[in-house]
Amino acid sequence: MKITDKIDDYINERWGTDRTTPKKKQGKWDSWTLDDLKEERMRLKDKETRKPEETTRLRQINFALRSKTGWGKVPT
């Protein structure tokens, strides 16, 4: 087997399971504007301590920001 074939196999590796977002969670942030998301992100980020639910919400907001801005990085 050539090295290029090994690289191709490695790059095209697939996970064993398909991942989908549950229907009830799809579109959760559609009604939020970018400014609303950024404001909520800063509110959560500025807390000294966060509950696990708040950390999850912050991650969801970061994902929503990336998706609404063309999948770029969220500024830190």
Q: What is the pLDDT of residue 8?
A: 75
Q: What is the pLDDT of residue 1?
A: 65
Contact 37, 57 (CB under 8 A): no
Instruction: Tell me if 37 is assigned to some domain.
Output: yes
At 15-69, the pLDDT tens digits run: 666 778 788 888 888 999 999 999 999 999 999 999 999 999 999 999 999 988 8
Q: What is the pLDDT of residue 61?
A: 94
Q: What is the pLDDT of residue 34?
A: 94
Instruction: Tell me if 36 is assigned to some domain.
Output: yes
Instruction: Tell me if 53 is assigned to some domain.
Output: yes
Give how many domains the chain has, as a whole number. 1
Q: Report how far residue 1's alpha carbon sits from residue 38's, in angstroms, rounded to the nearest whole number.
A: 50
Instruction: Tell me if 61 is assigned to some domain.
Output: yes
pTM above 0.75, yes or no: no
Instruction: Tell me if 28 is assigned to some domain.
Output: yes
- Domain extent, residue 29, equals 22-76
Instruction: Tell me if 1 is assigned to some domain.
Output: no
Q: What is the pLDDT of residue 33?
A: 94
